[in-house]
Amino acid sequence: MKIRLTSIFVDDQRAALAFYTDVLGFSVRHDVPLGDASWLTVVSPEDPDGPELLLEPAGHPAVKPYRDALVEDGIPLVQFAVDDVEAEHRRLTERGVVFTLPPTDGGPVMVAVFDDTCGNLVQIVSEKA
């Protein structure tokens, strides 16, 4: 069994696409129009055949209270692995990304959390050597 696709809810698919590609550096895998929305997925350019992240419209009524509660409690909705949290924090900060948790020692890992501008908190993590 493999994880092939996971999703996050976004307020605006086009704004999310710009953030996830232009700011974070992901690549578009699928952008298929489906009425008012799209089947819109991105992948890591480091693993283009790897898991896809679906940028899912946040229209379902359960989404807003769910995401609001997570953000209020500082809980990330998704986590991405990076080689070096501190270097990625510097790179993303230079691109205007707002961090809610700066690089922090988490025992065997370093973590940081940022706002994806689309309604979610995102955690980046790197394992310590």
pTM given for the model: 0.94
E-strand spans in 44-84? 52-57, 78-81
Structure tokens at 119: 């309604």
Q: Express each pLDDT in 26-84 by its tens digit.
A: 999 999 999 999 999 999 999 999 999 999 999 999 999 999 999 999 999 999 999 99
Q: What 3-state DSSP class applies to 26? A: coil
Domains (range + CATH), the chain: 5-127 (3.10.180.10)
Element counts in the chain: helices (H) and strands (E): 3, 8
Burial of 120 from C-beta contacts in 10 A (0-12 / 13-18 / 19+): buried
